[in-house]
A and B are shown apart, each in its own frame.
Chain A
Amino acid sequence: MTNSATQSAINTQVEGWNRPREIEPDGDNELLEVAMGPHHPSTHGVFRMDVALDGERIIRLKPVFGYLHRNHEKLGEGQTYLASIPYTDRLDYICSLTNNWAYALAVEKLGGIEVPERAEYLRVIVGELTRVQNHALSVGFLIQDMGASGTPLMYAFREREKILDLFEQLTGSRMMCNYMRFGGCRVDASAEWLDGVRKVVAGLPAFADEYEALLCTNEILMARTQGVGILPPELAVNAGATGPLLRASGVNYDLRKVDHYSIYDRFDFKVPLGDHGDVYDRFMIRLLELRQSIWILEQALKDIPGGPIMDPKAKIRGFRPKPGEAYGRIEAPKGELGFYLISDGGPNPYRYRVRPPSLINLTVLEDMCLGQNVADVVLILGSVDIVLGEVDR
């Protein structure tokens, strides 16, 4: 990745691919190479950054991952379609429900399965709850990385706990939900559960207010994050970055609006955009998206219809789709999460591929970090919001 020969090759071949300037070390050319990670409290898991430092400045940065590789894709090819669902929970373990959703969507496309209305609403509800808790958590961790140990993160955890309790009541598990099936959802939500969601959602705006009052105008936070780790929109687009990272750079691209999957067309919501592309913007985008999610949740909870939650034609055991291929993608909290499946008519997928947002978003890490201080690298990595379960698969 840092090989300059490959870099210049890329530069000449792909037009518009503007890597940022090479950072020249000043002074006596004494570079210090440091391996940050794999066991570093700031790396959100087992992830290593090999950095070359000139004093405090980053001259080179090489992300090294794969420590958590567990052969997810190959495992998926050796299993039935049903058996892969619990494994998708473990990709991005913060947001298991959106992972289920993306996978279910891909299989539904492959098998031509319809999803009943009520199941779509349930999916939106759990999906947006997932987004709320993911954003609360990622902001909390970002602030934690900045050195504000404890308070903001614990406030986020407090809120997340309420949402996880809801997940447990519905699906049986707090994090490894294993909830969606191709053709709908596994269990129906009771009226009490929906009331519980209404109660939690009613409390969320207060949390967002509190969080904003706590952090948004904090001078230390602004000094540390504004103008740090700038990601230019062209580079973000060229690198395939998605999610809050891309939108913080001002690119209006949200799959919920662009891809029209599920029933998102029915809801009225805005896509917040940043205009500097720095860490502060990414932080703010998440808080704003959190508010939009609350708004979607309110709408969905208002008009959720009754009815079945599974397509009666859907077959869970012994599901054998016709030969073909399908790509199902959704706007997961971290970006575009896609599953690509090829079927040869057998009970297992012939090819099973995951397009994880965290991995693709990491590709611009070096570009954001060059020329910054070591302490900022931690922040920039935190603002990308990665989960290593998904990066390494």
Chain B
Amino acid sequence: MLGEGILKGLAETAKNFAGSYVSKERLTTVQYPEERIPTSESARVFPFLVYDGPDWEAGLRCVACQICEKECPPKCIYIEKSKDKKPDYVGKLQIYPARFDIDVSVCMSCQICVEVCPFEAIKMDVEFELSTDDRFGGLLRNRQHLAKSNEYYHQIHPTEASEVDARLGEEKAKLEAKAKAAAAAAAAKAAAPAAPAAKPAESTPKPAEGTDKQ
């Protein structure tokens, strides 16, 4: 019969229409600004710099090694190394970024900077409402804008952050043990005159090349 196919199709749409009153699953949209779907844990939008402790400037994990700057595909990271040094999370003196800018309008949220950073210093944020009415200044995030605390990192990516903390803790413990051993050795040697000064934490955590940070 002509029109049978159309009627069959209409029955399908009628089922969906009526169904939307009884089953919540058929209502697939939300009213965005008022209602929000929670972001997924692994979501990534824009990078931020992690800092430990209360002071963002002192606690930045980034050591300005510039690996991310080099690997970023659209080259939207700009880093200037500091002239002086400050202690990092294990207490070793490191240079730090005097300037660390990321251009929101160029970044393509690819997460490659996170993957290549050997110091767990840069991570992805889930904040997606980044629009601004300031075309230039507002879209160029400096290091103060980018710095977010480790607690915040735990809040948005709990699993990943715990893994990172465990890894860093392990490294720190290893380094401390090494420093202790070195100090003990130095103390033993101190009996002999002109012993070389003990150098705590000699080795930096090696850039873990090629490993995946996830």
Contact = CB atoms under 8 A, between A and B. Distances in A.
B193 interface: no
Contacts of A168: 40, 42-43
Interface in B159-214: 209-210, 212, 214
A82 B67 CA distance: 13
B112 interface: yes
Contact of B42 (A158, A172, A178, A215): A172
B33 interface: no
B212 A310 contact: yes
B187 to A, nearest CB: 40
B53 interface: no
Contact of B28 (A89, A161, A172, A215): A161
A171 interface: yes
Contact of B5 (A87, A89, A155, A217): A217
Interface stretch (B7-15, B80-88, B129-137, B141-149): B7-15
Contact of A86 (B2, B12, B73, B116): B73
B4 interface: yes
Given A169-B40, A316-B210, A215 B110 contact: no
A81 B73 CA distance: 10
A86 B108 CA distance: 8
A176 B5 contact: no
Contact of B115 (A90, A222, A315, A316): A316
A315 B209 contact: yes
Nearest to A312: B210
A93 B214 CA distance: 24
Interface string A210-235: 10011111111110000000000000
A170 interface: yes
Contact of B9 (A165, A170, A186, A213): A213
B129 to A, nearest CB: 16
Contacts of A216: 5
A55 interface: no
Contacts, number: 93
Interface residues of A, number: 44
A170 B210 contact: no
Contact of B71 (A80, A178, A218, A314): A80
B8 A171 contact: no
Interface residues on B, range: 20 to 34
B8 A217 contact: yes
Contacts of B110: 85-86, 89, 176, 178
Interface in A138-180: 151, 155, 158, 161, 165, 168-173, 176, 178
Interface string B117-153: 0000000100000000000000000000000000000
Given A86-B112, A172-B124, A220-B6, A165 B40 contact: yes
A176 B108 CA distance: 9
A186 B214 contact: yes
A178 B111 contact: yes
Given A87-B73, A178-B110, A317-B71, A218 B214 contact: no
Interface string A85-110: 11101100000000000000000000
A38 B28 CA distance: 33
Given A161-B28, A172-B42, A217 B4 contact: yes
A172 B73 contact: no
A345 to B, nearest CB: 19
Interface of B: 2-6, 8-9, 11-13, 16, 28, 40-44, 67, 71-73, 108-112, 115-116, 124, 209-210, 212, 214
16 contacts: A80-B71, A83-B72, A84-B73, A168-B40, A171-B42, A176-B108, A178-B111, A178-B112, A181-B212, A186-B214, A187-B42, A213-B9, A214-B9, A214-B12, A220-B6, A315-B209
Interface of A: 79-80, 82-87, 89-90, 151, 155, 158, 161, 165, 168-173, 176, 178, 181, 186-188, 210, 213-222, 310, 314-318
